[in-house]
Amino acid sequence: LDTVHRICSGQVVLTLSTAVKELVENSLDAGAQAIEVKLTNHGLGRIEITDDGHGIPPENFQALTLKHHTSKIQAFHDLESVGTFGFRGEALSSLCALSHLRVNTRHSSQSLGCDLTFDAQGTLTQTESIVRNLGTSVILEGLFEPIPVRRKEFERNIKREFAKMIHILQAYCLISTGVRFFATNSIKDKKRTIAHTSGNASLKDNIVDVFGSRHFQSLLPIKAKSPSPEELESFEILDLEQEPELKLEGFISSCSHGSGRSSTDRQFYFINHRPCDPTKIAKLVNDVYHQFNRHQYPFVVLNIQLPRESVDINVTPDKRQLLLEREKYLLATLQASLKAMFARIPA
């Protein structure tokens, strides 16, 4: 209980993207190596996510959709070192109230699977034995229908919502090496693939799967370079002693003309493999790029690795904004690294 009270609460802000994101994160947390995302009608009809993870044991069925029920942290101090995406126990309880939710799962301890139906309050109303592979499927139908105003808005903005959702899905596809993703959208009888990866071992191969090899040719690997004394000074960094060890991994468009893009649509940032929207980091990347190529924005996939204790992921409910200790040092390093890379390439 103590844990529950100390986690800042507040409803998960739900949109199509956050719904899909929460379910994909649950699958990854369950150790899935294959994740299938099936939408019908851009998610207006049905959203179904199936994984081959460890499944849910029967003793957890009742509590699955209770607010703040999580199987992922034991005590508050665990929060400082969480390695899973989820830890608030809010997604499934919120989704129950906002859609018709069904879960079917088979845990490794069971020979049969179970199909679970929940009502809007999150009460388990029906269980039925089924035959299925190990793992879990979560099915949402009629997202936002319980709140007509929100449903209307969702329908009206579906194009934009769908595009945002694809961007988030692409982020998880890119960063999840060793996991096979397959995501489709069906409209009437037409099924279209919206993202896929084939269980590659490297970020590079995931980029090729998601965006094609042609695109990969104009990308440069990002290598970390320590900032010079002048750069440190311009970022007002005085004591170098305490700076954290930091590693950069990723790729960025070369700055030669035609290698970039006309918008920031293909920018993916990760901190310790967690997809996020780090505003200042993104601004710096675009600013440095603009010094070499004024007319375009880079394609960038950047994973920043920092010691866990210097990242606070418990900032916004969707965990997309992270607080970073020593952010200035990170920005200085990033600037030094990108400048050094681009300076070698004629603009």
> Could you list the residues that contact Mg ion (CB under 5 A)?
26, 86, 91
Phi and psi of 60, rounded to 5°?
-100, -5
* 72 binding partner (options ligand ADP, Mg ion, none; Cβ < 5 to 8 Å by kind): ligand ADP
Choice between 86 and 250, CB closer to ligand ADP: 86
Q: Which stretch binds ligand ADP (CB under 6 A): 49-57, 212-220, 236-244, 301-309?
A: 49-57
| 317 near ligand ADP, rule: CB under 6 A | no
Neighbouring residues of 228: CB distance < 8 A, sequence distance ≥ 6: 336
Three-state secondary structure readout of 237-302 = CCCHHHCCCCEEEEEEECCCCCCCECCCCCEEEEECCEEECCHHHHHHHHHHHHHHCCCCECCEEE
How far, in Å, are 34, 79, 100 from residue 176 at the CA level? 10, 22, 29
| 71 near ligand ADP, rule: CB under 6 A | yes
Choice between 91 and 101, CB closer to Mg ion: 91
Of 15, 18, 70, 310, the one binding ligand ADP by CB under 6 A:
70
Q: Which stretch binds ligand ADP (CB under 6 A): 63-71, 261-269, 310-318, 320-328?
A: 63-71
Of 15, 39, 42, 87, the one binding ligand ADP by CB under 6 A:
87
Nearest of 53, 25, 23, 26 to residue 38 by alpha carbon? 23
Q: CB 191 → ligand ADP: shortest distance, Å?
A: 23
Q: Tell me which DSSP letter residue 312 carries.
A: E
Q: CB 39 → ligand ADP: shortest distance, Å?
A: 17
Helix, strand or coil for residue 191?
Answer: strand
Choice between 24 and 203, CB closer to Mg ion: 24
Q: Site mask, ligand ADP, residues 122-151, x = CB under 6 A?
A: --------------x---------------
Of 7, 91, 210, 255, the one binding ligand ADP by CB under 6 A:
91
| 68 near ligand ADP, rule: CB under 6 A | no
| 7 near ligand ADP, rule: CB under 6 A | no
Q: Tokens for 251, please give them.
A: 């790729």
- Which residue's Cβ has the minimum distance to ligand ADP? 86
| 278 near ligand ADP, rule: CB under 6 A | no
Tracing tokens 């199936």 back to the chain, one arrives at 50
What is the C-alpha separation between 86 and 101, in angstroms, rounded?
19
* 90 binding partner (options Mg ion, ligand ADP, none; Cβ < 5 to 8 Å by kind): ligand ADP
Tracing tokens 């994740």 back to the chain, one arrives at 35
- Which residue's Cβ has the minimum distance to Mg ion? 86
Query: Helices 203-211 and 158-175 sit at what angle, rounded to 10 degrees?
Result: 150
Choice between 51 and 209, CB closer to ligand ADP: 51
Amino acid (1-letter code) at residue 76: F
Of 89, 122, 227, 275, the one binding ligand ADP by CB under 6 A:
89
Q: CB 86 → ligand ADP: shortest distance, Å?
A: 2
> Quick check: 16 and 154 in contact, CB under 8 A?
yes
| 53 near ligand ADP, rule: CB under 6 A | yes
> Quick check: 312 and 279 in contact, CB under 8 A?
no
What is the C-alpha separation between 293 and 290, in angstroms, rounded?
5
Please work out the total of residues on this chain that contact ligand ADP, with binding judged by CB under 6 A: 23
| 27 near ligand ADP, rule: CB under 6 A | yes
| 99 near ligand ADP, rule: CB under 6 A | no
What is the C-alpha separation between 169 and 211, in angstroms, rounded?
13
Question: What's the angle, vertex CA 138, arms to CA 135 and CA 142, rounded to 5?
Answer: 165
Residues of this chain that bind ligand ADP (CB under 6 A): 22, 26-27, 30, 51, 53, 55-56, 60, 64, 69-72, 86-93, 136
